Chains A and B, each alone.
Chain A
């Protein structure tokens, strides 16, 4: 089971929409993941296997595995940006 944080500036809007998208993508590809939306500080402070966020926030994380997405909502773009990483991490590739 992968522990994933989706992160935006506030932790209540964009990151929540991204979480819903990632839930769908993981389910469709049989990837077991516990996905939580949160803000930057919480994600930096807690343990996770992967953080998914936009590039503006990605390079502010230290010592974390981070995947960068171009859109919080567009499923095609999200899938193109993170599916390979998720499959690899869950041992499906």
Chain B
């Protein structure tokens, strides 16, 4: 369930990131803090963007950095970071990024439920706006809970 994965420990709001790499590192570090990933996983998330391009900006204003499970993922994890200042990732279609949802998974099956709940949430523009304008982690958790059924 989404609410078991995005928790108060993996949410940071209005973060001041200096560039896309910094934004990915902040999101990735939250995964490391809750023991969902090793430090090297964060580097791998950044390498993925450098290798393949900014395709992780999956929707307008939303980036989802991740890396391969064998790059140091320990269990399923997801973090949510809103950015104080929107950041260019180099994705023509969907820049600039305001919301960074980093994740890690140990295979391609166990996080299916959480990912599909997240997709429904991401499509709901009103909720995305609420999350982006929120200063309260509790408010964001309430929104997540409503999509985690």
Contacts and interface: CB of A to CB of B under 8 A. Distances in A.
Interface of A: 8-14, 16-17, 20, 37-39, 54, 56-57, 70-75
Nearest to A10: B68
Contacts of B51: 9
B58 to A, nearest CB: 5
Given A9-B52, A16-B108, A73 B68 contact: no
Interface of B: 48, 51-53, 55-56, 58-59, 64, 66-69, 93-94, 103, 105, 107-108, 111-112, 115-116, 119, 122-123
Contact of A13 (B53, B94, B103, B123): B103
12 contacts: A10-B66, A11-B68, A12-B69, A13-B56, A14-B55, A17-B58, A56-B53, A71-B59, A72-B55, A72-B58, A73-B122, A73-B123
Contacts, number: 62
B58 A12 contact: no
Chain A CB within 10 Å, residue with most, of B93, B112, B116, B119 = B119
A20 B69 contact: no
Given A17-B58, A70-B93, A71-B58, A9 B48 contact: yes
A17 B115 contact: yes
Given A12-B108, A17-B115, A73-B122, A39 B55 contact: no
